[in-house]
């Protein structure tokens, strides 16, 4: 195993799938010679050519809508939408087109397509139109699978499975994780969609964390060692959601914090808490705490953004707020 960045792992996943399957192509704005605005597709245009790495005008609806049409007609497109925020321009293509075709057309078709896009954060101070975490929006759409890329290992294995999936997949990367390095096997591998990972074992409290907050939770768990024993679980995909692994951890520790960068109201954290409550109610020692973004856009100025976007401090506060801990 070598250390690799998430950026490199995602690039490798794309290259391997382009190489493996002729029906796969990439499509998006600036993904060709420029290599994508986050540099994810660097070198792929040179290696695979303009028919496999398709540069487009700035037109999110056409990128995603055409991918739905291409998926219906024998292709396996991987679309890149620069920021999750811009999925607003293409949401109709998912909620009224790609996500419905299998169902509406009577079941005998599939729409194999992946949309890679970027969640997140306060770290880039990109403000309200370039910082949202919108996986919850797509969890709400039947017919769509939703993946949250975190570690380089996850990102590669899950992206390869997403591309091979016969359903539309929303694949959310996180802008603050692209440069993080982690171990990635030398040989080709995939990870199943729907399997959570126990990132760290613990006995007193379970922190179910997503994307960047996985790393924050691991830092908190390390700092609390000897005082509070924290188990960190990463769902990795939120649709399908590995309820059993999450509930098993909750049954073991009896206390749960869900930490996710979505807006809290009506969001993924609330849903995850509800599913755990259903599965592990009699094992819970305390109400489940949800950490996320309040009903607020993501502001620009660093102190404002830091106040809104959750981090390790918010996770620690939530842990300490749990009764009898």
User: What residue ranges bind another protein (CB under 8 A)?
Assistant: 25, 27, 51-52, 54, 56-57, 59-75, 77, 92-93, 96-97, 101-110, 142-143, 145, 165-167, 194, 239-240
Nearer to another protein, 108 or 186 (CB): 108
Where b means 16+ CB within 10 Å and e means fewer, 150-189 reads bbbbbbbbbbbbbbbbebbbbbbbbbbbbebebebeeeee
| Three-class secondary structure of residue 179 per DSSP | coil
3-class state of residue 245 by DSSP: helix
Q: Kindly list the strands in the beta sheet with 114-119, ordered across the sheet, starting from the edge strand earlier in the chain.
A: 53-55, 24-28, 76-81, 114-119, 169-174, 145-148, 237-239
Where helices occur in the chain by DSSP H, the ranges are 6-20, 44-48, 60-72, 91-92, 99-104, 135-139, 152-164, 212-223, 243-253, 268-280, 302-308, 312-321
Residue the block writes with tokens 């169902």: 103
**Closer CB to another protein, residue 102 or residue 132?**
102
- Choose the catalytic residue: 130, 135, 140, 283: 130
* Residue pointed to by tokens 């993946």: 147
Query: Does 130 qualify as catalytic in the annotation?
Result: yes
- Closer to another protein by Cβ: residue 142 or 323: 142
Instruction: Give least dist CB 90 to another protein, A.
Output: 9
* Nearer to another protein among residue 138 and residue 178 (C-beta): 138
- Residues assigned a catalytic role: 130
């Amino acid at each position: 195993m070598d250390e690799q960045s998430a950026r490199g792992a995602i690039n490798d996943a794309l290259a391997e799938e382009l190489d493996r399957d002729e029906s796969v192509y990439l499509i998006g704005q600036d993904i060709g010679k420029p290599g994508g605005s986050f540099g994810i597709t660097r070198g792929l245009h040179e290696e695979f050519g303009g028919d496999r790495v398709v540069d487009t005008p700035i037109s999110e609806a056409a990128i995603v809508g055409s991918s739905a049409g291409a998926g219906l007609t024998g292709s396996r497109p991987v679309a890149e939408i620069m920021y999750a925020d811009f999925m607003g321009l293409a949401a109709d293509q998912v909620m009224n087109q790609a996500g419905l075709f299998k169902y509406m057309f009577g079941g005998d078709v599939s729409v194999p397509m992946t949309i890679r896009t970027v969640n997140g954060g306060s770290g880039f101070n990109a403000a309200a139109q370039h910082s949202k975490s919108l996986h919850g929006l797509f969890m709400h759409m039947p017919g769509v699978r939703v993946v949250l890329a975190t570690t380089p290992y996850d990102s590669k294995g899950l992206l390869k499975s997403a591309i091979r999936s016969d359903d539309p997949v929303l694949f959310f990367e996180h802008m603050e994780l692209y440069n993080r390095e982690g171990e990635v096997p030398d040989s080709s591998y995939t990870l199943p969609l729907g399997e959570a990972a126990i990132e760290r074992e613990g006995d007193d409290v379970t922190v179910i964390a997503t994307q960047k907050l996985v790393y924050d939770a691991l830092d908190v768990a390390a700092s609390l060692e000897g005082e509070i024993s924290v188990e960190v679980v990463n769902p990795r995909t939120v649709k399908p959601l590995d309820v059993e692994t999450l509930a098993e951890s909750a049954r073991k520790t009896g206390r749960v914090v869900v930490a996710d960068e979505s807006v809290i109201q009506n969001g993924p954290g609330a849903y995850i808490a509800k599913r755990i409550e259903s599965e592990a109610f009699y094992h819970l020692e305390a109400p489940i705490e949800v950490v996320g973004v309040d009903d607020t856009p993501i502001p620009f100025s660093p102190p404002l953004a830091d106040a809104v976007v959750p981090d390790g401090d918010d996770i620690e506060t939530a842990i300490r707020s749990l009764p009898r801990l």
